[in-house]
Structure 1
């Protein structure tokens, strides 16, 4: 259950005493680590899922809009380890590079290592195929060095940005469908039904998913994209919006973004290097609201009703914050939970939000009241999750892939 201080915070929000995070005189009033109702026992491994989870998580943050939200229900409040696999990365250029985020589709888990792409069975984690490539590398979202850029999945194909081009593989067997070596990849791809968008060394480019033909390249710098309502949003040295059909730049704003952009209902959510969380109009880039308390609200996950982010003020303990979305104003805080050594909100479902915390591992909170339902304590910091209808798949930087499930 939530601590007394978290209940007090909820009461203040309910009565209007706290209008926004900026109204708090201190960081999260909740004290102490979350006290979960269930702890997943690590090291205990079952032979696989009895029932393979439904649904998919085809992009690193679920959808092209980068929301990090899957419209599914948490099936169990007491999961167990269904399977575990080791996809160990190798050293590249004398430096270790982390594995990528996981993506899931067609009952297949796919991720990139510094030397290639690996596909595992969603049922039991057995390796299905492996192909040698050198993926592009991107800075970690949680300050743990560089990592291999994640593949994305659409229409039975895996798409990957590599150091010498863009590649498309068949999900079923890893066969190469096409390669485009006109330009090198430089960031995380995003795919829609009919187009692949990739940060490249030439700029952001659009490719035909059928044959890999490059259709346009826009003058924009960034490693992470969001695509919604026929617009590509790029987070780099500035925020840039591009017409998805023509490649024409629609607007630019010098927000000095940090992390990834998220688009939902015509609003671009982005955190910047000053610690602000702000919303801009997708149409013209005008600022709609800003939480400018300099608390470093980072890497938001956005659902139809809420916004979730990690507060990392630097001078104090970090915290997971949950906000209610407001039609004509900034999000309003709903609950918070203290984190001792930082972490990241990685994903959300209809009834649960998932965070990684450096001391406590993976924690699942209820979205409404912030109750810690279960926790998976791990010695490493995992930074990627895929939320499915009946299971969760996560990967740590060292290449350990874990699937959790249960009735």
Structure 2
């Protein structure tokens, strides 16, 4: 259930009080229009949407209670509805994995569907995997599921994860009538990448890998699926989306999710030092490499001629063509190394910890994408999903490890110094 919204508080306060104390008017309110379809925004994981995200004082327009089971997942948004995948349970307890739908403007829960129930002694029972593409797709540890946008369970395709959900962020690729996922978790080869019909769930193809160990988050563009692998014979394998045929492979010390931008792959690399590399997606040649300590789950965003990622406790903006540093934000406050930047229009969002404050809270920062200038911020929590925001016009949505889903908007009207309307 959702907590009381600021709109409800405003109505209770009264219009006469508002007219006497209104100030802090920052422009037109949120429309909640637009789609944020998956972690990373699209199959290419660019992290960029042509939306007008909130700036100025970022405040909580509404909050909703969700299960606080690990891992915290990324909300997705379409047609005025926020969808969220969460699991109740823990070690020694049954896991109930559900998807909830919330009104994007008010935060009221429209429906909740139990996807699966399992008696499993694992800490987690799902991946950060929700995708909206005419219907909903998600991964639990044992299968890929599809739901209707009304919450009806449509089909289930078994594909196991061993041990913990590794990687945590593992949305399926859903494009051109096909849904593609992999057998995640540390396991003995063979590893499998499988495709099913996106409408019916019937198998389309499956590719096995005997010499590779740990597949990571998939990406796709222009009919090609990119599968990064860790450890052993590490690198990236390119598969044809419709047939599963192997297009090419390259050996690299991959350590993170791949982003596809035109004819370039942006790949986090292991090594001394760790780095982000721009790789020609047709030849595998490294165009540039920039060092920086980062978190394995964190990805790269691309918008126009800029690349954005978190490393060395900073948010870094580099030139897409050369890798030259354009600007940085941090390390005071300390930017989260697990955060994947999100770009909405001309604003990039980053999560940063204020170590000087009690409890070391996190603040969400809205930064000018061209210059790095701070255009707004708002306090959230110590723990937020590593996959960043879902952003539609005027609003951003983020899941917290404390069992909350937040809608963040720019303060539009304040009463007695308190923000009571966000659009």
TM-score range, shorter chain: 0.7 to 0.9
Q: Kindly state the Cα deviation for residue 87 of structure 1 after the two structures are TM-superposed.
A: 0.4
Q: What CA deviation, in whole Å up to 9, does each residue of 1:132-181 have, x standing for no partner?
A: 23599xxxxxxxx99732210101x101122332211011x200122223
Which residue number corresponds to residue 251 of structure 1?
248
SS across alignment from 1:224 = coil
Q: Does 1:289 align with 2:288?
A: yes
Shift in Å, 1:246: 1.4
1:194 corresponds to 2:177: yes
Matched, 1:265 2:238: no
Q: Residue 395 of structure 1 corresponds to which residue in structure 2?
A: 399
- Structure 2's unaligned 5+ residue stretches are 9-27, 88-96, 119-123, 185-190, 355-361, 410-421
Distance 1:193-1:148 versus aligned 2 partners, 3 A rule? same
Number of aligned residue pairs = 340
Q: Which residue of 2 aligns with 1:300?
A: 300
Q: Is the 8 A contact 2:56 2:377 kept in 1?
A: no
| CA apart distance, 1:264 | 0.5
Hey, what does 1:177 align to over in structure 2?
154
- Residues 239-295 of structure 1, C-alpha deviation per residue, up to 9 Å, x if partnerless? 22111121112222232322210000111101112211111222232322222x354
Number of the residue aligned with 1:159: 137
C-alpha change, 1:98 and 1:276, in structure 2 (3 Å) is same
For the 8 Å contact 1:68–1:347, the answer to whether it is kept is yes
Q: Pick the structure with greater CA Rg.
A: 2
Q: Aligned in 2, Cα 1:74/1:120: closer, same or farther, shift over 3 Å?
A: closer
* Aligned: 1:113 with 2:117: no
Q: Distance in 2 between matches of 1:301 and 1:362?
A: 17
TM superposition score normalised by structure 2? 0.74
Partner of 1:320: 315
Q: Measure, in 2, the Cα distance between the counterparts of 1:121 and 1:227.
A: 30
**CA 342–404 in structure 1, closer or farther in 2 if over 3 Å, else same:** closer
Q: Do the aligned partners of 1:308 and 1:321 also contact (CA within 8 Å) in 2?
A: yes
Name the CA shift for 1:289/1:253 in 2 (closer, same or farther; >3 Å): same
Alpha-carbon separation, structure 1, partners of 2:204 and 2:215: 19
| Structure 1 residues 321 and 358, CA gap change in structure 2 (3 angstroms) | same
Instruction: Measure the CA separation in 1 of the matches of 2:325 and 2:369.
Output: 12
Deviation at 1:123, TM superposition (A): 1.8
Residues 278-313 of structure 1: CA deviation (Å, up to 9, x unaligned): 11222232322222x35449521111221111122x
Give the alignment's TM-score, normalised by structure 1: 0.76
| Residue number in structure 2 paired with 1:385 | 389
- Which residue among 223, 229, 249 is the counterpart of 1:230? 223
Secondary structure of the residue aligned to 2:218 is strand
Write the distance in 2 (CA, Å) between the matches of 1:361 and 1:131.
32
